[in-house]
Amino acid sequence: MDLKEIANELVAGCREGRETENLDKLYSNDAVSVEAMDMGGQGRETKGLDRIKGKHQWWESTMEMLDSTIEGPYPHGEDRFAVKFGGKAKNKENGEIMDIDEVAVYHVEGGKIVREEFFYSM
């Protein structure tokens, strides 16, 4: 897949609830995911597809998305693109509702996502 196909499939998958399914399809086995801050005591950086899947499982078990918006993709050169995510999420444990407003930048090499970086207010 080329950059445009990967970017479009990632956005379509997010809109259609296929984020987990798309991990195997779109990500390199040694991909790296970087958060703006430590999430769940695991540090900011997650290395490897299996650990990124674990990060997704943690999010899904901890948070319930109440509504969401997805804008993009916004390509940048031949090797990366950005997506803007918004919405509201509810913490399943304590009921706290938080606003989601973040930008993700995805780096692509060899037809796979090799790095994702998330930017949001802390």
For the chain, how many structural domains are there in total?
A: 1
Report the alpha-carbon distance of residue 103 to residue 83 in Å, rounded. 6
Distance CA 122, CA 111 (A): 32
Q: Domain holding 40: CATH number? A: 3.10.450.50
Contact 85, 63 (CB under 8 A): no
For residue range 111-122, what is the model confidence (pLDDT) as tens digits? 999 999 999 986
Domain assignment of residue 60, given as a range? 3-120
Average pLDDT along the chain: 95
Give pTM, 2 decimals. 0.93
Task: Over range 10-22, report the average pLDDT.
Answer: 95
**Mind listing the pLDDT tens digit for each residue in 62-116?**
999 999 999 999 999 999 999 999 999 999 999 999 999 999 999 999 999 999 9
